[in-house]
Amino acid sequence: MAADTTDLDDTRDLDDLRDRARRWLDDDPDPATRDELEAVLDGLPASAAELADRFAGPLTFGTAGLRGPLRAGPNGMNLAVVTQAAAGLVAWLAAQDATGPLVIGYDARHGSREFAERTAQVATGAGRPALLLPRPLPTPVLAYAVRQLDAAAGVMVTASHNPPQDNGYKVYLGAQLGGELGAGAQIVPPADTGIEAAIRAVGPLADVPLGPAGQVVGDDVVVSYVDRAAAVVDPAGPRSLKVAYTPLHGVGAAVLTAAFARAGFGIPGVVPEQAVPDPDFRTVSFPNPEEPGAVDLLVALAERTGADLAIANDPDADRCAVAVRDGRAAGPAPVSGGAWRMLRGDEVGALLADHLMRRGVHGLYATTIVSSSLLRAMCAARGLPYDETLTGFKWIVRAGGGPLGEAGSDPLVFGYEEALGYCVAPEHVRDKDGITAALTVAELAAGLKAQGRTLTDRLDELAAEFGVHHTDQLSVRVDDLRIIADAMARVRAATPTTLLGRPVTEARDLLPEADVVILRTDGARVVIRPSGTEPKLKAYLEVVEPVADGDVPAARTRAAATLAALRTEIAALVQG
């Protein structure tokens, strides 16, 4: 987040900033970040803007935990910030009388192992057992381990698909504090504010007692995760399928290939340049499978090897992207010259939900307010319960009666969000899980292949039945978060009464519960909100086009044109 440094030429302001930096230096346990900050101080006054940004405020511990750039100072991820966060979390757990260990996982990003080990030292120093996962592993393994090891809470050190200069810190609660709906799920209010208050109450870091770096658990928990993951697919189903795969330089490859083998599938071919964890993500400009160019090497491998399906995980393997061979001119997100295209998250979500419904999986199906309305239509037509939540899997897994069910409610059996997150087995992992999602997509694709059909054929069937639900996203990345606040204020002050020439039939402002504005017309929907994890303003767009006389391609062409016009109109609205 950029800081306002317009008054830093005032000597008193600069002296105050320098004093704050010196106090931070005195308390920083890491020689490397102390040297880094000393260099910034030596550069004053020319480095005043950079110093101000590092001290613009502490990283706030919210429902997504901590996430920020690796750098010295309170507005970054570093050993001092992690020590304070861990001390606050452990103190909060003690205040809640939570028993059991703290289980800690980490990915292969810069600093992840060090931050995980420091968290374990803080926990053991406070008298709480700490269990460290044996190596860099996917986030779903940590979420699974929280429940499997009966932990009081879990910490995952990861920045998911953020740029290489970032890292983060996610917290999961065990059954004692999370209850039936939140056992092994990410925190929600008021836990986040309670932990944040406990973090701010931590005194000098030199006074935080440090114990040993916990107990490194054996591979049993990983083997157990793989066994349970493989069990999400029908053991008697077809298995003839050739898959190309990339972990995008992340930690998913070993676990995913083991799960595929355990489930009876052939081991996917892995993009060699991206197979080994690399914290610098050297072959991609941005380690997010949704970003342009991120899956080019994957598609090249799929084309070269004649794969039926191409699958990508994000670096911590909680998301799953799917590319299919499809030369349709009207298809969204073409890659490799149009021979392959990425399926949108809403398309994969609909395919997985439809597949589970056809398998006879009864219970609650859930998604978020920014995802396609197709799942709602499918549940209504098939007599299945449906719920819609705020964005984030911390809410999805708590939808309706939750994974364990309650008296008079339906258990959650499937949840997804359009940002490539899918939960196909809530009783296994109560979070998005890119490994089990990949397995379930493979099961569906193999079954269709045995019938001489493809995933795109099934998408066309759904379109013919429910209409073409065409979705897209408009993202505005900023350096100054005030730009997002100004845009949201502008939308609220001048909420449109028409979209695409049609009357707006619903204009909902979800404040104060959430910073979200929803607009609907007959056949279109727009959801505008700030991103919860990145400095972006996002607008989620959807148009629904009926299919006339079974002509799905014509309906897709009309929907694409309508969506392009809607995108232009919303871009003008949010950008002023």
Q: pLDDT at residue 533 above 90?
A: no
pLDDT given at position 93: 98
In this structure, are 8 and 34 located in the same domain?
yes
Whether 48 contacts 64, CB under 8 Å: no
255-265 average pLDDT score = 98
**Domain boundaries, position 11:** 1-56
In this structure, are 166 and 75 located in the same domain?
yes
Flag whether 130 is in a domain.
yes
pLDDT in tens, 39-63: 999 999 999 999 999 999 899 887 7
Flag whether 447 is in a domain.
no
CA-based nearest residue to 74, from 202, 190, 209: 202
Tokens of 166: 């970032």
Flag whether 491 is in a domain.
yes
> Torsions phi, psi of 432, nearest 5?
-65, 145
Beta strands in 158-193 (DSSP E): 166-173, 185-186
Amino acid at 327: G
Inter-helix orientation angle 434-450/345-358, to 10°: 70
441-451 average pLDDT score = 98
pLDDT-based confidence at residue 313 (cuts at 50, 70, 90):
very high
Least confident of 332-336, 371-375, 499-503, 539-543: 332-336
Of residues 357 and 402, more confidence is placed in: 357
In this structure, are 52 and 63 located in the same domain?
no
Flag whether 420 is in a domain.
yes
Query: What gap in Å lies between CA 182 and CA 159, rounded to an integer?
Result: 22
Tokens of 264: 């009876």
CA-based nearest residue to 168, from 286, 78, 266, 34: 78
Domain end marker among 388, 411, 432: 432
Flag whether 384 is in a domain.
yes
Of residues 464 and 327, more confidence is placed in: 464
pLDDT given at position 327: 60
User: How many structural domains comprise the chain?
Assistant: 4
In this structure, are 40 and 134 located in the same domain?
no
**Would residue 531 show up in a list of annotated catalytic residues for this protein?**
no
CA-based nearest residue to 504, from 478, 482, 526, 536: 526
In this structure, are 3 and 76 located in the same domain?
no
Whether 202 contacts 87, CB under 8 Å: yes
pLDDT given at position 4: 43
In this structure, are 100 and 210 located in the same domain?
yes
**Catalytic member of 160, 371, 372, 373:** 160
CATH assignment of the domain containing 550: 3.30.310.50
516-521 average pLDDT score = 96
In this structure, are 405 and 494 located in the same domain?
no
363-382 average pLDDT score = 97
pLDDT in tens, 382-413: 999 999 999 999 999 999 855 544 445 789 99
Average pLDDT, the chain: 93
In this structure, are 356 and 427 located in the same domain?
yes
Q: pLDDT at residue 575 above 50?
A: yes
In this structure, are 179 and 44 located in the same domain?
no
Query: What gap in Å lies between CA 474 and CA 538, rounded to an integer?
Result: 6
Query: What gap in Å lies between CA 305 and CA 291, rounded to an integer?
Result: 23
CATH assignment of the domain containing 375: 3.40.120.10
In this structure, are 410 and 527 located in the same domain?
no
Q: pLDDT at residue 344 above 70?
A: yes
Flag whether 272 is in a domain.
no
Q: pLDDT at residue 336 above 80?
A: no
Query: What gap in Å lies between CA 256 and CA 277, rounded to an integer?
Result: 14
Whether 102 contacts 211, CB under 8 Å: no
Q: Is the pTM of this model over 0.85?
A: yes
In this structure, are 415 and 475 located in the same domain?
no
Least confident of 96-100, 274-278, 280-284, 481-485: 481-485
Q: pLDDT at residue 465 above 60?
A: yes
Flag whether 287 is in a domain.
no
Flag whether 336 is in a domain.
no
Amino acid at 70: L
In this structure, are 66 and 208 located in the same domain?
yes
Whether 319 contacts 306, CB under 8 Å: no
